[in-house]
């Protein structure tokens, strides 16, 4: 499975939910993303086959090291871009929405340089 924008969003969601609650289930992902249960089940099955997530006997979903790497990378992009847009004066909700659109398409080089610039102008908040 290619790491598409949709897959990045699922992995990022699992990461966020796992930081907020002890166990993540498919229904949690449905609620968070606003997707139907069948849609989430299909994507989770494929992500499991591709070694991005594990699903145990109690249907708890966890990220594999490969899945976590993608999730952390995506979440870092999201939070850095959101903070930068807020710094520019964009309201928080719009900043988060725009960050979600941009985080998937920005090159690694551009993101790295943007993050370095954010650190220099915003201090530790851009870490």
Domains of the chain: 5-64 (1.10.10.10), 70-126 (1.10.60)
The predicted pLDDT at position 1 comes to: 56
On the question of pLDDT at 115 being above 80, the answer is yes
Three-state SS string over the chain comes to CCCCHHHHHHHHHHHHHHHHCCCCCHHHHHHHHCCCHHHHHHHHHHHHHCCCEEECCCCCEEECHHHHHHHHHHHHHHHHHHHHHHHHCCCHHHHHHHHHHHCCCCCHHHHHHHHHHHHHHHHHHHC
Please state the rounded mean pLDDT for residues 79-107. 94
On the question of pLDDT at 28 being above 80, the answer is yes
On the question of pLDDT at 9 being above 60, the answer is yes
Using one digit for the tens of pLDDT, what is the confidence trace for 45-55?
Answer: 999 999 999 99
Identify the band that residue 123 occupies on the pLDDT scale cut at 50, 70 and 90: confident
Average pLDDT of the chain is 92
């Amino acid at each position: 499975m290619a790491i598409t924008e949709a897959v990045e969003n699922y992995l990022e969601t699992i990461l966020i939910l796992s930081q907020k609650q002890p166990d993540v289930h498919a229904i949690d992902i449905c609620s968070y993303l606003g997707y139907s249960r069948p849609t989430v089940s299909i994507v989770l099955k494929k992500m499991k086959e591709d070694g991005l997530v594990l699903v145990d006997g109690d249907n708890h979903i966890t990220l594999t090291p490969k899945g976590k790497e993608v999730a952390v990378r995506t979440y870092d992009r999201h939070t850095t871009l959101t903070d930068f847009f807020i710094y520019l004066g964009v309201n928080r909700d719009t900043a988060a929405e725009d960050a979600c659109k941009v985080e998937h398409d920005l090159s690694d080089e551009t993101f790295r340089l943007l993050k370095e610039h954010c650190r220099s102008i915003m201090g530790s908040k851009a870490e």
